[in-house]
Structure 1
Amino acid sequence: MMRDLNTTSRRTARSTESAVHALGDDEGAATAEYVVATMAAVSLAGLLVMLLRGDAVKEILMDLVRTALSFAG
């Protein structure tokens, strides 16, 4: 009985150790995070470019600049 318990305990320890080793490998995780962040930034930039090309936005920005220049001079 004791021998079976020791064998089972060793097998459990080995399988736990190999599972921890397999899950603990974070190599490349930082690179993947940079890729996700870069893609989000590029998507946001593309959206802003599309918005700023619209006539309504151009008119709002021109009004803002005119107002700022009228206060300055």
Structure 2
Amino acid sequence: MSEHETAVVATQETEDVAGRDDRGMTTAEYAVGTVAAVSFGGVLVKILTDENLRNLILQIILWILETVSGVVLS
């Protein structure tokens, strides 16, 4: 099979029954991805602005580093 024939077959395999090209994201998928990204950003803002959560995460990170390295960091 030539390179051109392989490309044609690969293109045909990405089309669904109705003949639509199914490569890439549709508008609905972009909307879901945008909502997920904004939600994740909101969680990060909450974590970084809350002193208790920031200290908790810092303690977890220090514990992991101490466990892995064997060196007491605090």
Name the structure, 1 or 2, with higher relative contact order (CA <8 Å, separation 6+): 2
Normalising by structure 2, we get a TM-score of: 0.42
The structure that is helix-richer by fraction is 1
Normalising by structure 1, we get a TM-score of: 0.43
